[in-house]
Amino acid sequence: MKINILKKNEHELKIEIEGADHGICNLLQKKILLDENVDLAGYDVPHPLASNPIIYVRMKEGFKPQDTLIVAAKKAIADNEEFSKELKKALKA
């Protein structure tokens, strides 16, 4: 997986994630939108045969989109770890 920065300024960030799919992008979008300082966030897959989705984040004044994206990724990792633990417990029962 490779990440390319397409646009980066004080309030906006647009990245392309080579080799990603809707699953990771949808998860990140949902976690990003939990931040009340997000003005707009979404993702797009420009062409279905070229799986290089683009994630876009625009923040309210005074907030950095890269910080929000990093927090969203950490929350997604934590949720995944929690799910994995619960699944293991359930399968042992």
Bridge partners, residue 38, by sequence: 59
* 46-88 pLDDT, tens digit each: 877 777 999 999 999 999 999 999 999 999 999 999 999 999 9
How many whole angstroms separate alpha carbon 27 and alpha carbon 73?
9
- 13 CB-near residues (< 8 Å, 6+ apart): 5, 7, 55, 56, 57, 65, 66, 69
Task: Write down the pLDDT at residue 7.
Answer: 97
- Single pTM value for the model: 0.85
How many whole angstroms separate alpha carbon 66 and alpha carbon 83?
26
